[in-house]
A and B are shown apart, each in its own frame.
Chain A
Amino acid sequence: MNDRAEFTAGLMKALPSLRAFAISLSGRAERADDLVQDTLMRAWAHADSFQPGTNLNAWLFTILRNLFHSEYRKRRREVQDEDGVYAARLSVQASQEAHLDVQDFRLALETLPPDQREALLLVGASGFSYEETAEICQCAVGTIKSRVNRARTKLAQILAVDGPEELAQDARSRSLTTR
C-alpha cells in the first residue's frame, strides 16, 4: 500500500518530463497526451514488475518509447513524407534567417530520424546518462553515442550553427546539396 502510494507520487512527478518527451517524439500535443495516458495505464497495470529503488523515470520512458514505436511502425511512410517537406522548407529558412528560435528548433528536430531524435532527447534534454539511454532504447552504449553525435551534426547543418561566418556558409550549402 505504501509502495503503491509512492509509485503514484512518482508517476505524478514524472508527468511533465514524460509529456515533454512524448511531444518531442510524436510532434503533436494531442497524440502525445494519448501516449502519456497509455503509458500511465500500462505502468499501473505492470506496477508489480517495477523494482522499488530502481530508476522509475527510466522505466516509464522505456514504456512510453515502446508504445510510441509500436504505433510508429504503422505510420512510418506517412511520417517520412512529412520529414521530406520539412527538410526542404528548413534549408530555405536557414539560408534566409540568421536567427532561429525555439519553433525552428522544433522543426529541425522533426527532420531527424526517430532513433537519433530520441537518443538526443534522452541524453541532451531528459537528463539520462548514455548507459540509461542505452537501456531505455535496448541497444549498445556505443550506438547511442553515435546516434547523438549524428543528431547534433545534422542539427548543426540544418540550423547553420557554426562559429565563423565562413563555416556557417559552408554548412548551409552542404545542407542544401545533400538533399
Chain B
Amino acid sequence: MTQKQSRADSDNLEDEIQIDEHIQRRIGAKLRAYYDELLNEPIPERLIELLVKLDEKERKEGKS
C-alpha cells in the first residue's frame, strides 16, 4: 500500500479523527453565540400560562 492510499483511507475515517483544536474552539464559540441569542429570546406567554394553569389545577385537586 502506497502512502497516498493510506492517506485516502484516513480521509474516509474523517469523523474518527479529532479535528483541529483551533477550529473546534471557533465552531464552539459560534455555536454558543447562536444559542445565547435563542436563550435570551422572551418566552411566549402561552407557555408560561400553560404552566400556571396546570399548577393551579393541581393545587385545587390536591386540596379537595
B54, A153: Cβ atoms closer than 8 Å: no
- Option from A100, A149, A159, A161 in Cβ contact (under 8 Å) with B18: A149
- Option from B15, B28, B30, B37 in Cβ contact (under 8 Å) with A153: B15
- By size class, the interface of chain B is 35 or more
- Option from A20, A37, A159 in Cβ contact (under 8 Å) with B46: A37
Would you give the 0/1 interface string for B35-56, flagging 1 where the beta carbon is closer than 8 Å to chain A?
1011111011011101100110
- By size class, the interface of chain A is 35 or more
Which residues of B lie under 8 Å from residue A33 when comparing CB positions?
44, 46-47
Alpha-carbon distance A4/B63, docked complex (angstroms): 13
Residue of B nearest to A4 (CB): B58
- Option from A17, A44, A125, A149 in Cβ contact (under 8 Å) with B31: A125
A161, B47: Cβ atoms closer than 8 Å: no
Alpha-carbon distance A158/B36, docked complex (angstroms): 21
Q: Could you count the A-B residue pairs with CB atoms below 8 Å apart for me: how many are there? A: 102
Alpha-carbon distance A152/B29, docked complex (angstroms): 12
A40, B35: Cβ atoms closer than 8 Å: no
B37, A152: Cβ atoms closer than 8 Å: no
Instruction: Knowing A4-B58, A15-B43, A15-B47, say if A152 contacts B24 (CB, 8 Å).
Output: yes
Which residues of B lie under 8 Å from residue A163 when comparing CB positions?
20, 22-23
Alpha-carbon distance A19/B18, docked complex (angstroms): 30
Interface residues of B (CB under 8 A from A): 14-20, 22-24, 26-28, 30-35, 37-41, 43-44, 46-48, 50-51, 54-55, 58-59, 62
Which 4 A-B residue pairings sit nearest by Cβ, starting from the closest?
A20-B38, A125-B35, A150-B15, A105-B34
Interface residues of A (CB under 8 A from B): 1, 4-5, 8, 11-12, 15-17, 19-20, 23-24, 33, 36-37, 40-41, 44, 100, 102, 105-106, 109, 120-121, 124-126, 146, 149-150, 152-153, 155-156, 159, 161-163
**Besides the known contacts A102-B33, A121-B31, A161-B23, 10 further A-B residue pairs in the complex with CB atoms under 8 A apart:** A19-B43, A106-B34, A121-B35, A124-B28, A125-B31, A149-B15, A149-B19, A150-B14, A152-B27, A161-B30
